[in-house]
Structure 1
Amino acid sequence: MTTKAPPKPTASELEMLRLLFELGPSTARQVHDAAAETRPDLQYANVLRTLQVMHTKGLLTRDESLKAHVYAPAQEKDSLQTSLLKDLIHKAFAGSGKALILAALRGGHVTAKERAEIQQLLDDEKPEA
């Protein structure tokens, strides 16, 4: 039997996932408080509803053993990022990872420090002659 991968998260769900990856397993109140630092207009009820929907979709797990439910991502961060990246490469770059990298480098999305880190990674991967 094959397990179905969870659906791709929406933009607001990605925001909740990002917060949960930073915070670790958290209650809706904790997620709301963290989100409110950058989005003070965000209502607690909206955060709670989003977390509930994400749980239903399989994007989150929920520990119901305490009075306040504790939510956590259902996938590891690296696994989720890899899945989203594969989808982006397929949809936006015709399956070419090279095209994605070149777009990021040319588009000013990579800092000088990040470029140096990328270059070091590439240098480390070069086969010895």
Structure 2
Amino acid sequence: MPKNRPKTPKPTAAELDLLRVIWRLGPSTVKDLHAARLSDRPDLIYATVLRLMQVMHGKGLLTRDESERSHVYAAAHAQDALQTNLLGDLIQKAFSGSAKSLVLAALRKHVSSKEREEIRRFLAENPDE
């Protein structure tokens, strides 16, 4: 990676949870996101979501439209782009730069038989990728 390119911010686990909701819902207010998370986390406090979103905005993970009374937040990075960046970091840090080692580790312990079949189909349909 060139040194003059800005680094993509690294979300925490809590930030990734919130990003998944934003990617699913699209641009949302704090109230929208709090309501969406309540089904999974009934103890989640509105102020906690607000603070987390403010921190995420400061880190560059979210954009904020302040033109309305209720600010609307959106993901600053597309889901696939952020996941690809995080995956690259994981490959470097945990697998010494070997994507093959990551894939083999995933296949050994973390892939269901249904997922294996999907992977086989993908590889058969995309032999050069």
**TM superposition score normalised by structure 2:** 0.92
2:122 maps to a residue whose letter is L
Judge conservation of contact 2:8–2:85 (CA < 8 Å) in 1.
no
Q: Give the length in aligned residue pairs.
A: 125
Which consecutive unaligned segments of at least 5 residues does structure 1 have? Answer: none
User: In the alignment, is residue 126 of structure 1 matched against residue 127 of structure 2?
Assistant: yes
Judge conservation of contact 1:6–1:57 (CA < 8 Å) in 2.
no
1:34 maps to a residue whose letter is A
Pairwise CA RMSD: 1.2
Which consecutive unaligned segments of at least 5 residues does structure 2 have? Answer: none
Using the TM superposition, give the Cα deviation of residue 27 of structure 1 relative to its aligned residue in structure 2, in angstroms: 0.3
Aligned pairs for 1:27-38 (under 5 A) are: 27-38=29-40
Partner residue of 1:110? 111
Give the secondary structure class of the aligned counterpart of 1:116. Answer: helix
Residue number among 1, 5, 14 corresponding to 2:16 in the alignment:
14
Q: What is the percentage of aligned positions where both structures have the same residue?
A: 58
**TM superposition score normalised by structure 1:** 0.92
Using the TM superposition, give the Cα deviation of residue 126 of structure 1 relative to its aligned residue in structure 2, in angstroms: 2.8
Give the secondary structure class of the aligned counterpart of 2:64. Answer: strand
Partner residue of 2:43? 41
